[in-house]
A and B are shown apart, each in its own frame.
Chain A
Amino acid sequence: MSGYFPSATAEGREIDFLILALTLVSCAVLALVFALIFLYMVRYRAESDAYRGAPGRKTWRFEISWTAATLTVFFVLFIWGGDLYVRLFQPPADALQIYVVGKQWMWKVEHQGGQREINALHIPINRSIQLVMTSEDVIHDFSVPAFRIKHDVLPGRYESLWFQVETPGTFELFCTQLCGVGHYSMTGVVVALTQPEFETWLSGAAPSGERDDMAAAGKALFTAHGCSGCHGENGVGGSPATTGVSAPALAGLFGRLVKLQTGATVTADEKFLRDCILTPDKTRIAGYPQIMPSFSGQISEEDVLRLIAHIKSLRSGSRT
């Protein structure tokens, strides 16, 4: 495994700096507490004749001082940790998306080019990587200590995690949410490669002709599961005149705002598309009758991801 110090990501080094600050604050407080206790234990032991004087009365001055001091230090730590956290979980728009599916007890990874790997994740360095993660069964957690990041991987949801690695190397990957008997064995590696190495790896991992990229695989599923029957070829949308039923256009949909029957407006992101496929009852689109059946239990999590990759690839230009 590659070196743990310094962290392979800029954010990881920032977290280390925060942890260092917390350590220094803690050590200072502990030193104060222990020094005072030891001082008093010696100076004011029952046998000692040290001068005690009259008991102090105005304790509230002390109370207010140490309460105010504590609050001030805490507030600084809160702002510091909060600011970094918000940045830590907001992926840049141009991040390279990679899809991760957790199951008891393995990590399945699929790249946009259709390259798949198990318990390993190959990434290029100096490039923002966004993992779009879901689980087939229980809650898992994708944790890479060398990057100082982790996030739970939930069934029925897409959670995302992003990072940008600066040094090539192999880093430990752990599941850190108890997921059953094999929890301890749900480990793997994150391999960070230079861009040329990564491209070589990509082409080696997906011999041409053997495997489609995710979007192309999704296109086949789009036909196989009958999506195109209502939504039209290439997701152009359906109407009673063309496909026999009214169905929303999917081309160019990704990232746009969609109005629901409830009056709410939502962004058509991966989570939304997943919900539309698996629980269409809960995401009725304004202006369309709810006739789409649920595909829950009929499509694997990986195929859902491929369908979404296909929908994302459909340009609005292809609309007739």
Chain B
Amino acid sequence: MTHAPAQVSYLDDGHTLRSWLLTTDHKRIAILYIVAITFFFFAGGFAAFLIRYNLSSPNGLIGSAETYNRLFSMHGILMVWFFLVPAVPVTLGNFLVPLMLGARDLAFPRLNLLSWYLFLAAGLVALYAIVIGGVDTGWTFYTPLTSFYSKGHVVAAVAAIFIAGFSSIATGLNFIVTIHKLRAPGMTWYKMPVFLWSLYATSVILVLATPVLAMTLLLLVFERIFGIGVFDPAIGGDPLLFQHLFWFYSHPAVYVMILPGFGVISEIIPAFSRKELFGYKFVVWASIAIAVIGFLVWGHHMFVAGTSLYSALVFSLLSYMVAVPSAIKVFNWIGTMHKGYIRFDAPMLYAIGFIGLFTTGGLTGLFLAALAADVHLTQTYFVVAHFHYVMVGGMVSAYFAGLHFWWPKITGRLYPEMWGRAGAIIIFVGFNLTFFPQFLLGYLGMPRRYFAYPPHFEALNLLSSSGALILAVGYILPLGYLAWSLFYGERAPANPWGATGLEWTTPSPPPTENFPVTPIVTQAPYQYRQAVAVER
């Protein structure tokens, strides 16, 4: 074995457990993260499945309300902090940021590894909290229920989220510094792919908002353990203060959960339309606008919570403002397809599904931003459906789109295309069947987080639960064929999609060093017209 080190793929650069667990290679850390978040996705998904099982009968099928409350709390906590927030940044982001920039690695490779260990530690604490009994407070931890009344293991669950937050901050910081300092020669800001801009905006939110969550959770623990009155009015606290602080983090966190998805879609639509991204600068600045305005809309979670009427008016207006950049993006993606040469490989099917589901999620957000309509719809299944359309229909679709798109680059293998397309279609159908009925349930007044419900809600709940069965098949399917492709998939060429972007100029899978020679960037991104000219 005497070949040059630059030719060794990162996957073959050491096969010991140690070479994986102590790696500082961003690509290997991305793989470690993929393994971890896949586990949490299916753990959270299993809880969701039991929730839908319970709700397929008005009296509840899993026996106890306490179990039910713990299930939906576990579902929320695992899905938000252990899947959605990290999903794209720590997997695709970790893998692609240096490759797209033309860099050797992230700015702080060891910090990157540390962030994975923090995430792992947080995940273990979360699992510990679940195994010893879990929490019954929902992922929102509203006080004073959480202060003293809940009998669940609030402190353990909160500790898990607290630790996971540091992992987020480390990743965000790493990305910001990397994008500022490690761009290849010629890679100016406006030559960066939109995926990098999206991750940059995401990282800014992670670094600025996560500490607020950490402080809030710390205050909550002080109150619960030491009885220091912060949130519970019985000991001198303010019950709404927690909601303000929590949503000051958690609303920007909603954009952490969707902005990277925008980035993925902005790469895939041009690649499969063989056309440059329509309105590049508008898409870029829409991401930045979302990150900034996203910090100023937290009050829209509290329109019936007892805040002032006039503050609600301001938050409503700002909520409409933050929806404008999202609308701009949708129109630009459609503009990209116009006069393209569109192919329908699995990543594109997921991306088109994303546009439909995200647009539905966004439009139903307008209902909730309209103050009077929110009064009726908030805290019902309408809200549940709305944020699942954005988070699951949107972000999970985007994650799957990206995973399929970059799968050949990451693994060096092609996934089976027909299975990929089937999976995308099954997920789209199953998703709509699961969550569309919930809009109707919400309008009819069915409250969230009910273990049992009046019988007149049964038909729609049954429909939703049957959709969940299809959705479960849709999510398990990729697990099967992607795993299969690792061993039996066709070897991938460097650029199977004929896509632009530096990551496609290096072999699949890339060598540990990423690029034998540092690339020099001369072109704007998404120059697909030339590629089309060559193909024809």
Contact with A along B292-335 (1 / 0, CB 8 A): 00000000000111100100110011001101100110111011
Q: Indicate if A95 sits at the interface (CB-CB under 8 A).
A: no
Give B contacts to A, CB under 8 Å. 65-66, 69, 136-138, 140, 142, 144-145, 149-150, 232-234, 239-240, 273-276, 278-279, 282, 303-306, 309, 312-313, 316-317, 320-321, 323-324, 327-328, 330-332, 334-335, 337-344, 352, 355-356, 359-360, 363-364, 366-367, 369-380, 443-445, 447-454, 456, 529
Q: Establish whether residues B359 and A29, one from each chain, have CB atoms under 8 Å apart when the complex forms.
A: yes
Q: Please give, as numbers and ranges, the residues of chain B lying within 8 Å of A108 by CB-CB distance.
A: none
Query: Which residue from A1, A22, A46, A55 sits with its C-beta under 8 Å from B373?
Result: A22
Q: Decide if B279 touches A33 in the complex (CB within 8 Å).
A: no
Instruction: Name the residue of chain A whose CB is nearest to the CB of B532.
Output: A52
Least CB distance from B387 to A in Å reads 15
Mask, A1-19, CB within 8 Å of B = 1, is 1001000000010110011
Could you write out 29 A-B pairs with CB less than 8 Å apart? A18-B373, A19-B377, A26-B364, A29-B359, A36-B337, A40-B342, A44-B273, A44-B342, A46-B341, A52-B340, A55-B275, A55-B276, A59-B335, A60-B279, A62-B279, A63-B282, A70-B327, A77-B366, A78-B320, A82-B312, A85-B375, A88-B375, A139-B142, A148-B376, A155-B234, A159-B306, A175-B447, A180-B149, A183-B65
A161's nearest neighbour on chain B, judged by CB, is B304
- Residue with the greatest number of chain A CB neighbours at <10 A, chosen from B239, B276, B305, B372: B372
* A77–B320 CB distance below 8 A: yes
Check B339 against A37 for contact (C-beta < 8 Å): no
Contact assessment for B380 and A176 in the assembled complex, using a CB-CB cutoff below 8 Å: yes
CA distance A12 to B304 in the complex (A): 16
- State whether the Cβ of A288 lies closer than 8 Å to any Cβ in chain B: no
Interface flag for A178 (CB, 8 Å)? yes
Contact A181 B371 (CB under 8 A): no
B271 to chain A minimum Cβ distance, whole angstroms, is 12
- A40→B279 CA distance, assembly (Å): 18
Taking A30-B363, A81-B369 as known contacts, 10 extra A-B pairs with beta carbons closer than 8 A to each other, sorted by chain A number, are A19-B443, A37-B334, A37-B356, A59-B282, A78-B316, A81-B372, A82-B372, A151-B306, A178-B140, A183-B450
* Whole-angstrom CA separation of A64 from B249 in the bound complex: 31
Closest 6 CB pairs of A and B: A145-B445, A156-B233, A81-B370, A85-B371, A84-B372, A26-B363
Q: Write the nearest CB–CB distance from A49 to chain B, whole angstroms.
A: 11
Determine whether the beta carbon of B337 is less than 8 Å from that of A26.
no
Find A44's partner among B304, B337, B360 (CB 8 Å cutoff): B337
Q: Is the interface of B mostly helix, strand, loop or mixed?
A: helix
Contact yes or no, A141 B304, CB < 8 A: yes
- Closest-by-CB residue of A relative to B69 is A181
A29 touches B363 (CB 8 A): yes
**Contact between A178 and B278 (Cβ–Cβ < 8 Å)?**
no
Contacts of B69 in A (CB 8 A): 178, 180-181, 183
Q: Which of chain B's residues have a CB closer than 8 A to the CB of A41?
A: 337, 342, 344, 352
For residue A45, CB closer than 8 A to chain B, the reply is yes
Beta-carbon contact of A55 and B529 below 8 Å: yes
Asked if A146 is an interface residue, CB under 8 A from chain B, the answer is yes
Residue in chain B with minimal CB distance to A28:
B363
Cα of A199 to Cα of B341 in the assembled complex, Å = 74
Contact indicator B149/A104 (Cβ below 8 Å): yes
Complex alpha-carbon distance, A181 and B378, angstroms: 21
Bound Cα distance from A237 to B140, whole angstroms: 47
Please measure, in the bound complex, the distance between the C-alpha atom of A53 and the C-alpha atom of B532, giving whole angstroms: 13
Docked-complex contact B372 and A4, CB < 8 angstroms: no
**Do A67 and B324 form a contact, CB below 8 Å, given A88-B375, A138-B149, A184-B450?**
yes
Specify the chain B residue showing the minimal Cβ separation from A18: B373
B282 contacts A180, C-beta separation under 8 Å: no
Q: For residue A283, which residues in chain B have a CB less than 8 angstroms away from its CB?
A: none
Contacts of A60 in B (CB 8 A): 279, 282
Closest to A152 in B: B305
* Assembly CA distance A44 to B374 (angstroms): 40
Chain B residue with the shortest CB-CB distance to A14: B372
Determine the chain B residues whose CB is within 8 A of the CB of A150 once the complex forms: 304, 375-376, 378-379
**CB closest chain-A residue, reference B137:** A178
Find the A residue at minimum CB distance from B360: A30
Contact B369 A78 (CB under 8 A): yes
Measured CA separation A88–B177 after assembly (Å)? 49
Q: Which residues of the partner chain B approach A33 to less than 8 Å between Cβ atoms?
A: 330, 334, 355-356, 359
Measured CB to CB, the nearest residue on chain B to A105 is B65
Residue of A whose beta carbon sits closest to that of B282: A63
B360 pairs with A19, CB closer than 8 A: no
A201 at interface (Cβ–Cβ under 8 A)? no
How far, in whole Å, are A37 and B328 apart by their CA atoms in the complex?
Answer: 16
Q: Is the CB of B320 within 8 A of A143?
A: no
- A184 contacts B337, CB within 8 Å? no
Residue A212 at the B interface, CB < 8 A? no
- Asked if residues A70 and B239 are in contact (CB atoms below 8 Å), the reply is no
- Contact B323–A155 (Cβ < 8 Å): no
Q: From A46, which residue of chain B is reached at the shortest CB distance?
A: B341
A172 close to chain B: CB less than 8 A: yes
| A74 and B320 form a contact (CB under 8 A) | yes
Known: A33-B330, A55-B275, A78-B320. A44 touches B341 (CB 8 A): yes
Of chain A, the residue at the smallest CB distance from B146 is A138
CB contact between B144 and one of A29, A62, A66, A137 (< 8 Å): that residue: A137
Given that A53-B339, A178-B145 are contacting pairs, would A67 and B376 also be in contact in the complex, using a CB cutoff of 8 Å?
Answer: no
A17 to B305, CA, bound (A): 24
A228 to B453, CA, bound (A): 48
A143-198 interface with B by 8 A CB criterion = 143, 145-146, 148-152, 154-157, 159, 172, 174-185, 187
From 232 to 282 in chain A, residues with beta carbon under 8 angstroms from any chain B beta carbon are none
Residues of A within 8 A of B448 (CB): 176, 178
Q: Does A86 contact B (CB under 8 A)?
A: yes
Residues on the B chain within 8 Å of A174, using CB = 445, 447
The answer to whether B279 and A59 touch across the interface, beta carbons within 8 angstroms, is: yes
- How far is it, in angstroms, between the C-alpha of A177 and the C-alpha of B144 when the chains are bound? 12
Let me know if B379 and A177 touch, CB within 8 A.
yes
Contact A155 B239 (CB under 8 A): yes
Q: Which residues of B contact A299 (CB under 8 A)?
A: none
> Which residues of the partner chain B approach A184 to less than 8 Å between Cβ atoms?
65, 447, 449-453
- Give A67-121 interface residues, CB cut-off 8 Å to B: 67, 70-71, 74-75, 77-78, 80-82, 84-86, 88-90, 104
**Residues of B with C-beta under 8 A to A52:** 339-341
Chain A nearest CB, measured from B150 CB (Å): 7
Q: Which residues of A contact B374 (CB under 8 A)?
A: 81, 85
In the complex where A55-B276, A150-B376, A157-B306 touch, is A26 in contact with B240 (Cβ < 8 A)? no
**Which single member of A14, A40, A62, A138 contacts B340 (CB below 8 Å)?**
A40
CB distance from A177 to the nearest CB of B (A): 6
- Other-chain residue from A86, A145, A181, A183 in contact with B444 (beta carbon distance below 8 A): A145
Nearest-neighbour CB distance to chain B for A141, whole angstroms, equals 6
Distance from A270 Cβ to chain B, minimum over Cβ atoms (Å): 14
* Residues of A213-228 whose CB lies within 8 A of B: none
Interface residues as binary, A38-60 with B (CB distance below 8 Å gives 1, 0 otherwise): 00110011100000110110011
Which residues from B are CB-within-8-Å of A205?
A: none
Q: Which residues of B contact A29 (CB under 8 A)?
A: 359, 363
Contacts of A149 in B (CB 8 A): 375-376
CA distance in complex: A60, B503 (Å): 29
Interface residue from A14, A74, A178 paired with B366 (Cβ < 8 Å) = A74
Q: Are A172 and B454 in contact (CB under 8 A)?
A: yes
Contact A34 B304 (CB under 8 A): no
Closest chain-A Cβ to B398's Cβ sits at a distance in Å of 16
User: Measured between alpha carbons, how far is A154 from B373 in the docked complex, in Å?
Assistant: 22
Q: How far is the CB of A7 from chain B (nearest CB, A)?
A: 9
A74 and B234 CA atoms in complex are apart in Å by 41
